[in-house]
Amino acid sequence: MPRGCSRIADIEQRGEQEMGNLWTGTVTLAVLLAAIVAVPATVAAQDEQTFVVVQGSECVQITPLGDGTQSVENFYDYRSTTTTARGQYTSYGTRDIQLSQTSQVFVYAGSEGLSLVFLHDRFGDDDGGFAATADISGLPTDGEWAIEDDSYTNRDDVFRHSATSSHIEWVSNGNRTDGGAFRGLGSSNYRTISVDIAFNDESNRYPFDEWQGSPSQNQLEEWVVRSGSGETTELDMDEPIEISPGTCSGGISTFTPTETATSTSTPTMSASAETDSDQSSTAAPIQADESTESGGAGVMSNNTVNDLGVGVATVLAAIVVLLALLALVRQN
């Protein structure tokens, strides 16, 4: 073969090798981008989720308990004489966080979404019972009460629900929990949930005729909000609270952008949080929020995640076009 023809053949061979390498690299990049797009947007949104609990001028910022791997029903694990796993009308799944004569409120991240959880007293503490009456409003219409503790036939507790509110009366003769879990805090159909609980002698069920000992021996002594970090912050038992997605510094937000600001107050912060290791923290003042989603300080909204997915999908589409062009080049 003439030397010139051999050189041309070598150049063509190297060109085909380089084109093949480019083809392989492009396909690999396309596969990686496809994997990114396949990650559920809800997981990203849930990982970034924070909530604020506001009581008067106090604001406490919390994160959910749980990692999204089990449902709130399995986490709470309510058992009675009528459930599949029999038990003593109490929560068995929360025993490691139960507190004697204490009412807790927190958010749980389960496999089916975010839930607002109420947990009263501690199982097996041999202390007295309690009475508490709650009025809860602002619930998203597409949510549901996944747990009612108690839920047996002819129960002493009362659960009455409407589209966006619930009235609950908890009474206990001691040595067990009461509580409940509302699933649906990942919805865009709400902004703030109000919780007004009348404890002890403020409850319409006080005193309970099944108590042993005097009424003063059957009372909840503390109300706390728990964060996923393990911190618990004491609340005023005589004042209602408001729970919203957002941050104390960035303000209240929703899971979808709002056209106008609805957070206008700027309460200051002085609530301290106590942990099992006796550490403490203070929260920041809430600031007026024109658009938490665009400000970057609050919750990652579903739209933010969707925009990210659209951008990646656009890049992926461009790569598909490039692959088609490369295929045509190789054929020629």
State mean pLDDT over 141-151. 97
Same domain, 238 and 259: yes
Q: What whole-number distance in Å separates Cα of residue 197 and Cα of residue 240?
A: 7
Instruction: For residue 32, give the DSSP letter.
Output: H
| In-domain check, residue 300 | no
State mean pLDDT over 79-100. 95
Residue 180 structure tokens: 């409940």
Q: Which residue has the tokens 């604020």?
A: 52
Same domain, 238 and 169: yes
Q: What whole-number distance in Å separates Cα of residue 88 and Cα of residue 95?
A: 13
| In-domain check, residue 179 | yes
Task: Say what the pLDDT of residue 300 is.
Answer: 38
| In-domain check, residue 75 | yes
| In-domain check, residue 299 | no
Same domain, 30 and 55: no
Same domain, 55 and 27: no
Indicate if the pLDDT at residue 68 is higher than 90.
yes
Indicate if the pLDDT at residue 168 is higher than 80.
yes
| In-domain check, residue 298 | no
Same domain, 325 and 239: no
Q: Where are the beta strands (DSSP E) in 162-276?
A: 165-172, 178-183, 193-199, 222-226, 232-235, 241-247, 251-252, 272-274
Q: Mind listing the pLDDT tens digit for each residue in 38-64? A: 444 444 444 559 999 999 999 999 999
**What is the pairing mode between strands 158-161 and 165-172?**
antiparallel
* Helix H or strand E segment including 309: helix 302-331
Question: Is the distance from CB of 60 to CB of 248 less than 8 angstroms?
Answer: yes
| In-domain check, residue 301 | no
Same domain, 16 and 103: no
Number of folded domains that form the chain: 2
Task: Say what the pLDDT of residue 252 is.
Answer: 81
Same domain, 36 and 58: no
Same domain, 260 and 313: no
Same domain, 225 and 319: no
* Domain span at 179: 50-292
| In-domain check, residue 302 | no
* Confidence at 323, pLDDT banded by 50, 70, 90: confident
| In-domain check, residue 45 | no
Question: Under 8 Å CB-to-CB from 100, ≥6 apart: which residues?
Answer: 121, 122, 125, 127
Same domain, 21 and 55: no
Indicate if the pLDDT at residue 286 is higher than 60.
no
Among 186, 196, 187, 135, residue whose Cα is nearest residue 165 = 135
Task: Say what the pLDDT of residue 57 is.
Answer: 95
Q: What's the mean per-residue pLDDT of the chain?
A: 79
Task: Say what the pLDDT of residue 312 is.
Answer: 57
How many of the other CB atoms lie within 10 Å of CB of 39? Answer: 13
Task: Say what the pLDDT of residue 318 is.
Answer: 72
Same domain, 75 and 24: no
Least confident range from 85-99, 192-206, 243-257: namely 243-257
Same domain, 62 and 130: yes
Question: Under 8 Å CB-to-CB from 103, ≥6 apart: which residues?
Answer: 118, 119, 120, 121, 132, 197, 199, 220, 222, 223, 224
